[in-house]
Structure 1
Amino acid sequence: MKLPALAVALLSGVASSSTLLDFTPGEPTWYARNDTVMGGVSSSQVRVGGGVLLFTGQVRLENNGGFSGIRSNPGRFDLSGFSSLKLRVKGDGKRYALQLGTSTRNGVTYRNEFGTVAGQWIEVTIPLNSLRATRSGERVAGPPLDPSRVIFFGLTIGNNRAERFALEVDWIKGQ
């Protein structure tokens, strides 16, 4: 069984610039987490295939909704050897947010937004120290992200607009 690059780095005790997720078999599975948890009606789908993650759907504003998101199943991702994450993405010109979570119980995630260029692959760098504590998309007081305690990755869109969206992710690397 092939271990993801991150698992190999963690098992060897060495974390260097490496591919964390390249959406191949053996990596965490992903699931949708939309505003339906609060009564909204937005929808999204996530599909992993051919080494690419595809996140698509529609954000709707009815019932105080307004976001769609996906998360990886919980695991252990010690990112303490990295100062930033780099993503290779192809989007639709909309803004998305990368989220990292250190708990599945308190609702707090650490996030920062990034832009996309419609129909073009681009690389986006997000410094880990730029991720801010949020709950339900709103900033909250809290300690800074502890990169050694990350248990899931997430992507979300919530631009206060009813809109269809599509984002592809080729890989996520630690730097």
Structure 2
Amino acid sequence: MESLVIFDLEKNSPDNWKIINDAVMGGKSLGSFYFNEKGNCVFEGNVSLENNGGFSLLRYRFDAVKTQKYSKIIIKVKGDGKRYQFRLRSRLSDDHVYISFFETSNEWKDIEINLTDMYPTFRGNKLQKPNYSKERLEEIAFLIGNKKAEGFKLEIDSIMLT
């Protein structure tokens, strides 16, 4: 089975990661990320519901990757027992993203997501468009927004297409 590494700290720069908190719409959530001594990306912080807030997002952008020959994305993560949203964007110019949800535990897990199961949304609303078409990929992201005030921590080891 052919695979393509999307993120692995040994092969990719951490400079393409960015946090976007609900402060963009007046909220007070605060997420951050860093790379720990093991080389894993750690996304952690606090989600606040103040001022109609309620999310924190960690985004990773990269040069376009053709995805036709792949059927799944596999993310190796260790979490905190909370639910996260995994997002991908075909083109940076697209308004919408494709999403899937996953649950975490405090053990390392390989989360397998079928690319064609990822459905399009815009600002949390499902769109009447086809699911992800497996043509290209320019951005992935992790979002926490479970409609509750909570601390969170997600450790990301690797992300690959298979």
Which structure shows the higher strand fraction?
Answer: 2
Question: Does the pair score TM above 0.5?
Answer: yes
1:44-123 equivalences under 5 Å are: 44-49=31-36, 50-117=38-105, 119-123=106-110
More deviation, 50-59/124-133:
50-59
1:39 paired to 2:26: yes
The question of whether the paired residues in 2 share the 8 Å contact of 1:33 and 1:70 is answered with yes
Q: CA deviation at 1:52?
A: 0.9
Higher relative contact order (CA 8 A, sep 6+): 2
Q: Residues 58-79 of structure 1: CA distance to partner in whole angstroms, max 9, x if unpaired?
A: 1111111111101113421222
Q: Does 1:153 align with 2:140?
A: yes
**Shift of residue 104, structure 1, vs aligned partner:** 3.3
Q: Is the 8 A contact 2:117 2:132 kept in 1?
A: no
RMSD over aligned CA atoms reads 1.8
Pairing partner for 2:2 from 6, 12, 16: 16
Q: TM-score, normalised by structure 2?
A: 0.89
> Which residue in 2 is equivalent to 1:8?
none
1:66-105 Cα offsets, whole Å, 9 max, x none, are 1110111342122221101111110000011110012334
Aligned to 2:160: 173
Runs of 4+ with deviation above 6 angstroms: none
Preserved contact between residue 77 and residue 152 of structure 1 (Cα < 8 Å)? no
Query: Runs of 5+ in structure 2 lacking a partner?
Result: none
* Rounded Cα–Cα distance in structure 1 between residues aligned with 2:60 and 2:103: 21
Matched pairs, number: 160
Letter in 2 for 1:19: V
Give the stretch that moved more between structures: 22-31 or 48-57: 22-31
What is the identity, as a one-letter code, of the residue corresponding to 1:162?
A: A
Identity percentage over the alignment? 34
CA deviation profile, 1:113-158 (whole Å, cap 9, x unmatched): 00001x2111111100111101122212223223222110100011
Asked whether the 8 Å contact 2:117–2:131 carries over to 1, the reply is no
